[in-house]
Amino acid sequence: MTRRRWIADRVEGHHAFLLGQNAHHLFRVLRAQPGQQFDIAVNGVLRLGTIMHATAHEVEFHLGEEVESAALPEITVYLSVFKFDRMEWALEKLTELGVSRVVPLTATRTAQHLAKAADARVERWRKIAKESAQQARRIAPPEITSPSHLDGILNQGEDCRIVLSEIEGSVGLKAALAGCRAPLAMAFGPEGGWTAEELELFNASGWRSASLGSTILRAETAAIAAVAVVMAELE
């Protein structure tokens, strides 16, 4: 039987703790008892955890041997900020798919009220990513960085960098992935897409332009669809 997996909220030596909502769910819903064993992700490493003490506010584990876990390809998503309810849904699904990092971007066509409010949303986005990572049996959530501007990401060090563009007419995503391997990055524009000037900057910095087909996708749909294709191609 597959053991339930948790990401530790606090670690002290060979002891890990679940707090708050995690502890409440484990204690009240799953009826946690001392001696029960679960997989506990600690600083990116999966360990066998045995419950020592449990309450609705805190569950303490003793950490045992390391447990084997599958490695995910290193994929960074540069995601232009869009409506927060849809962006939160996209972050949840990108986490489930296995991306390693999400960098929120402010682009030329990013709505100004969203750009101004983005910094204040980062902690909420990180919380969503952690909850989604736990549900997806990941050993760590993706890194969610503070918002960045386009000029701050153009020359990052990924081996393969792809910008998704609505006006790309000849190169599909699968073709753009030819010869690519992780670490890999993809950039997605805001509602309304990239400006011609932004696409010129990507091209001048060595990014490959790619299309997701002839239909126009919402920002969150494009990001999720593209990452799913990339994960399948890199397996």
Q: What is the CATH number of the domain that holds 44?
A: 2.40.240.20
C-alpha–C-alpha distance, residues 158 and 11, integer Å = 31
- Give yes or no for residue 11 having a pLDDT over 70: yes
pLDDT at position 180, please?
Answer: 92
Q: Are residues 103 and 60 in the same domain?
A: no
pLDDT at position 171, please?
Answer: 95
Q: Are residues 82 and 172 in the same domain?
A: yes
Please, are residues 186 and 163 in contact by the beta-carbon 8 Å criterion? yes
Q: Are residues 96 and 202 in the same domain?
A: yes
Banded model confidence at residue 70, pLDDT cuts 50, 70, 90: confident
Q: Are residues 27 and 98 in the same domain?
A: no
Q: Are residues 116 and 191 in the same domain?
A: yes
Q: Are residues 211 and 141 in the same domain?
A: yes
pLDDT at position 3, please?
Answer: 83
Number of domains, the chain: 2
Beta bridge partners of 19: 58
Q: Kindly compute the dihedral angle of the four CA atoms of residues 24, 29, 35, 39, in this order, to the nearest 10 degrees.
A: -80
Q: Are residues 43 and 149 in the same domain?
A: no
CATH assignment at residue 222: 3.40.1280.10
pLDDT at position 159, please?
Answer: 84
Model's pTM, two decimal places? 0.90
Q: How many residues does the chain have?
A: 235
Beta bridge partners of 142: none
Banded model confidence at residue 208, pLDDT cuts 50, 70, 90: very high
Q: Domain end: 38, 66, 94, which one?
A: 66
Q: Are residues 99 and 136 in the same domain?
A: yes
Q: Domain end: 66, 87, 103, which one?
A: 66
C-alpha–C-alpha distance, residues 116 and 126, integer Å = 18
Label residue 170 left, alpha or beta by phi (over 0 means left) and psi (-120 to 50 means alpha).
alpha
| Residue with tokens 């081996």, as numbered in its chain | 159
Spatial CA neighbour of 188 closest among 57, 65, 75, 42 = 75
Q: Are residues 211 and 99 in the same domain?
A: yes
Banded model confidence at residue 220, pLDDT cuts 50, 70, 90: very high
18: Cα separation from own chain's centroid: 21
Q: Are residues 187 and 93 in the same domain?
A: yes
- Burial profile 12-47: b = 16 or more Cβ within 10 angstroms, e = fewer: eeebbbbeeebbbebbeeeebeeebebbbbbeeebb
Q: Are residues 175 and 221 in the same domain?
A: yes
For the chain, the average pLDDT equals 94
Rounded mean pLDDT of 23-40?
A: 94
Could you give the percent of the chain with pLDDT greater than 90?
86
Residue-number span of the structural domain to which 43 is assigned: 5-66
What's the pLDDT tens digit per position in 175-207?
Answer: 999 999 999 999 999 999 999 999 999 999 999
- Give yes or no for residue 69 having a pLDDT over 90: no
Q: Are residues 47 and 98 in the same domain?
A: no
Banded model confidence at residue 1, pLDDT cuts 50, 70, 90: low
What's the pLDDT tens digit per position in 140-177?
Answer: 999 999 999 998 899 888 889 999 998 888 899 999 99
Q: Domain end: 21, 47, 66, which one?
A: 66
